Amino acid sequence: AVIAATLIVVAARPRALAPPDSYDALMYHLPAPRAFLEAGGFITFPYEVQANYPLGFDMFYALGLAAKADRFGRLAHFSCFVLTVLATYAFARRYFGKEAAALAAMILPGSAKMSLIGTWIFTDIAYAFFGMLALDGFVRWWHGDGERWVVASGLMTGLAMATKYYGLRIGLLVGLAILGVSVLGGRGSRRGAASAMAFGAVAWAVAGVWYAKNALLLGNPVYPFIFGGLNWNPIRADFWQRWSETFGYGDGILGFLLLPVEVILWPDAFSATPGGYFNPWMLLAPVAWLWPGRDGGLERPTARFLLIYVLAQVYLWGLQLRELRYLTAIFPWLAVCAGWVIAHIADLARMARAFVRIGLWLPVLFAFSVHIFASLPIGYDVWPYLAGLESAAEYLRGSSYAYRMAEFINGKLPDDARVLFFFEGQHYYCRRECVPDPIYDRWIDWSAHYGAGEGLLRHICDAGFTHVAVNEEWLYPAPGDREIGLLGEDAVRAFETFRERYLEPVPGAREAGFAIYRVRCEDVGLGGGE
């Protein structure tokens, strides 16, 4: 287990040392903390959605940005992957024994999805880490280790809620578990209510600032979901809903029951990030429900609770955006339960133990190869950069079209250029004023409000935009892409007409792999962005 985990960490760590180039990092995980630093406090982002989410863990990235070291974010997030593996081992050893703990600590790093995301400036693995410690605290309290663990669980839940809206799921499920255990376990409803209130008070004390900010400045504590809010309208909500429905298959009871099969057979349909890689040994986790534990031991009740928690998380996930990386929070628990089952299987016969020993290495070696050979579509060889044979700029030119576009904007456009993005959200490397289009709905929204002609041109010019940058690969998606048909043929034709009439191509941009246009504001008598 130590060798397996070390292999994955060693293989993944080089990419965690590269300059930031993942999509969400360049869209809001880095630009938002940078904006907070520049403003000297909290601000809102009227043109964006994701930058208004809870950004608690992103404040670690602000530390790196303040020190002019944006790569710090990759190391901060990758550290959460390492800590999650260690926490998985510690939990499993406490309740299931050393062998099950070692197996769990080998199964979890064998999920390449988790180690891959851990090398990016995202927050999914941080969320999984905090969520794991939140449930760990609850289990300790449940098994009689004292009321202080309710406070610890609330603290970790608060960190999860401050990192992602999905942390609210953890708060809901753990809060209900505290009440349920208290009533069914003989602690009494009054005592259970007091413990649940203490848990909730600590969680909201930690996370509440983010939700209060959104409520006060945007009109919705969970902006933009459920209650809408500033600059959110039915057109944008409908587009977001239609985009969300491009993930996964099926609805209703049958669709939910088939989710595990669909995730296994078509993982890429559930993910906007390359690869749906998870360790197939985790599929043994449900067997833990039937596995016998020691007389008077805690293994079986703990395993059953973990499986109920996993099922509840999967159900809530199935009701919302079915993006596979949002399930990483249950991977540690699947690894724990699967490790316990495999430990029993290995005890059945010498042949079973040999099969397990060989079979466990296959996902580990696969995850190792994913990192070593950079076999993912977004991959780019990081070794020349780490060896000092190429600069950060040279690495980024190869790994990120958004960097090449920003480099063109910074070097080729006028100093006072103000660039409006269509169908593109990555703007971190822009040194001009670039306004992103994070959920690709700007054309749908603005053309509905201002028309697709001179009215829209006037609005763009009145707002001071001199240029437009367009991600035309998304405008014309390749066969098989989930975005096909999302924008609609009428909207595409209307954009093409607007582009032909009012936008002037900037020489050299298209040859570099993207499209940048000068806005012809003189056509509405507002002068031009010369």
Q: Report the relative pairing of strands 418-422 and 467-470 from DSSP bridges.
A: parallel
| Structure confidence by residue, pLDDT tens digits, 365-413 | 888 887 776 534 445 678 888 889 899 999 999 889 999 999 999 999 9
Note whether 143 and 179 are within 8 A (CB): no
Res 274: pLDDT: 64
DSSP string computed for 82-126: HHHHHHHHHHHHHHH-HHHHHHHHHHTTT-HHHHHHHTSS-SHHH
Note whether 317 and 374 are within 8 A (CB): no
Across residues 7-17, what is the average pLDDT?
Answer: 85
Q: How many percent of the chain have pLDDT more than 70?
A: 95
Res 511: pLDDT: 63
Note whether 420 and 468 are within 8 A (CB): yes
pLDDT at residue 530 greater than cutoff 60: no
| 146 burial via Cβ count (<10 Å: 0-12, 13-18, 19+) | exposed
Res 14: pLDDT: 85
Nearest to 353 by CA among 343, 338, 362: 343
Task: Determine the Cα angle at 353 with ends 351 and 359, to 5°.
Answer: 100
| Structure confidence by residue, pLDDT tens digits, 29-84 | 999 999 999 999 999 998 889 999 999 999 999 999 999 999 999 999 999 999 99
| 251 burial via Cβ count (<10 Å: 0-12, 13-18, 19+) | exposed
State if pTM tops 0.75.
yes
Q: In what order do the strands lie in the sheet with 418-422?
A: 433-435, 418-422, 467-470, 515-519, 503-505
Across residues 179-201, what is the average pLDDT?
Answer: 87
Residue type, position 410, single letter: N
